[in-house]
């Protein structure tokens, strides 16, 4: 068990051994929470909202393809663009 001291601006230093075990580096984000009187810090990854929405689309099956090659994918995208232009979307 490691002991830490709360500094005058309520800062604490996470001991090196704990940082290494949790793979925490400079600039990482940690979610702070309290449960049953215990403070926990959980490493978090933040992703762009549009990427999150795209990943949800894939999870929900809203995808196109598969395409045999890049040319087929481009042709399909151009066709969808043409349909949207003519339908006023």
Q: What is the pLDDT of residues 37-85, one digit of tens each?
A: 999 999 998 888 888 888 899 899 888 888 999 999 999 888 888 876 6
Q: What residue has token string 């978090």?
A: 44
pTM of the model: 0.51
Smallest CA-to-CA distance from 15 within 6, 3, 31 is with 3
Phi, psi of 63 (to 5 degrees): -135, 175
Residues 36 and 66 in one domain: no
Residues 19 and 39 in one domain: yes
CATH at 9:
2.10.260.10
* Encoded tokens for 10: 């309520």
pLDDT band of residue 1 (cuts 50, 70, 90) is: confident
**Structural domain of residue 19, as residue ranges?**
1-46
Helices of type H across 1-89: 16-22, 49-59, 70-87
Residues 30 and 70 in one domain: no
């Amino acid at each position: 068990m490691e002991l830490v001291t709360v500094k005058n601006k309520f800062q604490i230093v996470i001991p090196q051994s704990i940082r290494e075990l949790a793979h925490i580096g400079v600039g990482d984000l940690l979610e702070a929470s309290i449960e049953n009187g215990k403070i926990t810090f959980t490493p978090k990854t933040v992703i762009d909202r549009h990427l999150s929405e795209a990943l949800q689309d894939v999870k929900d099956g809203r995808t196109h393809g598969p395409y045999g090659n890049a040319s087929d994918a481009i042709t399909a995208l151009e066709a969808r663009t043409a349909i949207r232009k003519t339908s006023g979307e």
